[in-house]
Structure 1
Amino acid sequence: MSYQQVAAELAASIRSGQVPPGTRLPTHRDLARERGIAVGTATRVYAELARLGLTVGEPGRGTYVREPAGYDGPEPSRALPVPRVADLSFNQPLAAQQAGDLRRALRGLAAAGDIEALLRQEPPGGRRADRAAVARYLLGRGVDTAPANVLLTGGTQAALDTVLGAVTRPGDVLAVDALTYPGIRLLAAAHGLRLAPIPVTAAGPDLGALPRRTPVRAVYAIPTVHNPLGWVLGRRERARIVEFARARDCLIVEDGTYAFLEPSAPPPLQALAPERTCYVAGTSKNVAAGLRFGFAVLPDTHTAAAVRRLRTTTWGSPPLVTALATGWLSDGTVTRLEQTRRADAAARQRIARTALHGLDTIAHPGAYTVWLHLQPHQRMEHAAALLAGEGILVSTADAFATGPYRPRALRLALANPPLDELGAILHRLRVTLDTIAP
């Protein structure tokens, strides 16, 4: 029996769920004995399963079935009719060394003098020492704030929820880009907010297009590495947002989730208008999506309300997660991972530019996303369905649209596929789109 046959049989068992994620597979020697093959052939079997993204080998611990790549949520739209080839709908960047980072960090926590402290309840928003660690880290992003103005949360989405709960009331108007992060739509609906879409241009949001009679309570902005359009607003465009907020006497909610990907960006909005800007970010993209650690920086006038919001909802970040995250912020691990992410994202963009050359795309050269405009005869729902039939999951533009206009486009998230497979996946995507006849 060849290694391809054995690998195909094991791959089918894994994909069908017969062998669930987390299962420890036989050693190379045991697999060789079970299948009647040479140990060298067994090694090639496991190399092939790893190449397919189905297993992960850990020195000294064995080979394990890995969780499926990408976010597998309960939504029917995420159930593909064939085995998944790639999830281009959701970014979960990881680096090869992060499993080792986690083990070392957990061993360090286990050896700490007062590990019992991780089982105690912390103040809503976190302890001062942990908030100070985040404040020190944020200095590198141009956000200069006191620890008292930093609140720790269970992820960036939780930080946004906390801010909106503290600074808005049902019926308030939230100005948002006409194409923006989908999570803000969900939060606005949950808080009973009305959305005022801001037309987008090549240079950024056109705030002047909002009628002066619109009573805007807050502006949600992603000035650095925008999701999904990738822009990095210049100083003039940032100043216009601040001028708008001061003229309308409204707040700014600045999302810095992807800001680490552009270290040379102009100062954040929070630095330009700290008295009316709430800055949110987290570790989902620069460290790991599963860490669920976020933070919000609020002006003095709204910090107490945000603490009350946390007290009635999630309370903040769990102590164990906080200890991991702030430890990595303080010892330089996050800085190192951000450098790795920037190099990785730039490499993926180079691959995407080659694979998608000639198509109508928008992307920052160091971002993890590509905005792909389809041709007039290509409907985005049809395109997404065809790609799903090929095992490729993508996001359609309607997920990002906040107004009635739905551009004919797809958002491609580049972070999940193995780097050496990304070009082939994007080529497959392009070939599939080419099958859509005019």
Structure 2
Amino acid sequence: MGLVAGEPGRGTFVRHQAGYDGPEPSRALPVPRVADLSFNQPLAHGQADRLRLALRALSSSGEIESLLRQHPPGGRPHDRAVVATYLLDRAIDAAPADVVLTGGTQQALDCVLRALTRPGDVLAVDALSYPGIRLLASQHGLELAPVPVTPTGPDLGALERLCRVRRVRAIYAIPTVHNPLGWVLDREQRLRLAATARAHDCVIIEDGTYAFLEAAPPPPLRTLAPERTCYVAGLSKNVATGLRFGFAVVPARHVAAVTRSLRAASWGVPGLVVALATGWIADGTVARLERDRREDAAARQDIARAALAGMDLTAHPVSYSVWLGLEPHQRPDHVAALLAREGILVSTADAFATGPSRPRALRLALGTPPLDGLGPALRRLRCAIEAIPP
């Protein structure tokens, strides 16, 4: 068909006429675009105005000259302190010295893996997980060990068996609003995962990218096992994908190694980005945007449940993603190509699979289309899928 392509480590995606170029608004389709459901780029009304005001405030502040100087790798102490205070709302009590500022969550993951693993190490990961972890594992020569998933989380019995028979160096987990399946592990599951990591001396890498969507989650793994957990997150989904600001909270004994890996990769985060991000954290803008995002995500889930009622859906009720199971006769790559001809971009399960099993499913990202356009796009998607003959 020529409309989709597969690439090791990235999965199946709709093809640009000249090759895949990522989540670009200009990506060509055979018909006018209806909706991009392949990538979440949520934006709140008025965010551009907030950015203008913040930039004006920075331009007239006494700190403007300092933004032209090189900041220390990992961030200045007072910037780290702002993030540490922000994390208290996530039940993470971290010393500012244990916070390493990065250029987004992906860089935080990269720096942690670069510092704490070696080529050939085994990384335990959910059988369906964030696609970026596959890319990083490939870059660092790590062996991914997929852990089977259940409707409520990873199969922790399977994880325990894996750790008994293999030397697992690290466990990558998304315990709060999982990407792509939306689960939230309860306290008992988190304690069991932490106990497994302790018993086998594994590092835990906890991804909190979407954790802000769960208003009252159980304690983070970082809080339950602080001596071995690296918590990574950023402002891509709660503020803006273009604000490449993230952080890693790491055990004190690993701070120097993670900071060295950051210095090797990019030295640090641009001062202007840090000033914008920490300013918005300190003045409450990020907290307000997170509340707005929760309301927006809940509204989008309501729209999705109504438009796709009766279909095989898996989702957190306050999230920006839906996992849509397909019928046995519906090949995900063919469905993605069909939807592309309808002007709708989607991701297939290939992008999220960390092992050989490839479920017949699509991941629908709900955060990018305008709210009033989401329902019509999903109804069009449903009609196209249901018209596929057995």
The CA distance in 2 between the partners of 1:319 and 1:188, in whole Å, is 29
In the TM superposition, residue 156 of structure 1 has moved relative to its aligned partner by 0.5
The CA distance in 2 between the partners of 1:116 and 1:416, in whole Å, is 36
Question: Deviation digits for residues 367-426 of structure 1, max 9, x if unmatched?
Answer: 100000001111100100000011100000010000110000000000011111111000
Map of 1:19-418 to 2, 5 A cutoff? 71-72=23-24, 79-209=28-158, 210-211=161-162, 212-418=164-370
Question: Deviation digits for residues 6-54 of structure 1, max 9, x if unmatched?
Answer: xxxxxxxxxxxxxxxxxxxxxxxxxxxxxxxxxxxxxxxxxxxxxxxxx
The CA distance in 2 between the partners of 1:193 and 1:362, in whole Å, is 30
3-state secondary structure, aligned to 2:242: helix
In the TM superposition, residue 80 of structure 1 has moved relative to its aligned partner by 2.2
The one-letter code matched in structure 2 to 1:85 is: V
Size of the aligned set, in residue pairs, is 366
The CA distance in 1 between the partners of 2:354 and 2:30, in whole Å, is 29
The one-letter code matched in structure 2 to 1:138 is: L
Closer, same or farther: CA 327–347 of 1 in aligned 2, 3 Å: same
3-state secondary structure, aligned to 1:109: helix
The CA distance in 2 between the partners of 1:79 and 1:107, in whole Å, is 36
The CA distance in 2 between the partners of 1:316 and 1:198, in whole Å, is 34
TM superposition score normalised by structure 2: 0.92
Question: Deviation digits for residues 184-214 of structure 1, max 9, x if unmatched?
Answer: 0000000110000000001210132243211
The one-letter code matched in structure 1 to 2:93 is: D
In the TM superposition, residue 275 of structure 1 has moved relative to its aligned partner by 0.2
The CA distance in 1 between the partners of 2:62 and 2:80, in whole Å, is 21
The CA distance in 2 between the partners of 1:243 and 1:131, in whole Å, is 29
The CA distance in 2 between the partners of 1:153 and 1:83, in whole Å, is 37
The CA distance in 2 between the partners of 1:73 and 1:414, in whole Å, is 16
In the TM superposition, residue 79 of structure 1 has moved relative to its aligned partner by 4.0
The one-letter code matched in structure 2 to 1:358 is: G
Give unmatched runs, 5+ long, in structure 1.
1-69
The one-letter code matched in structure 1 to 2:129 is: T
3-state secondary structure, aligned to 1:281: strand
Q: Which structure has the larger Rg over C-alpha atoms?
A: 1
In the TM superposition, residue 104 of structure 1 has moved relative to its aligned partner by 0.8
The CA distance in 1 between the partners of 2:373 and 2:81, in whole Å, is 41
Q: CA RMSD in A?
A: 1.2
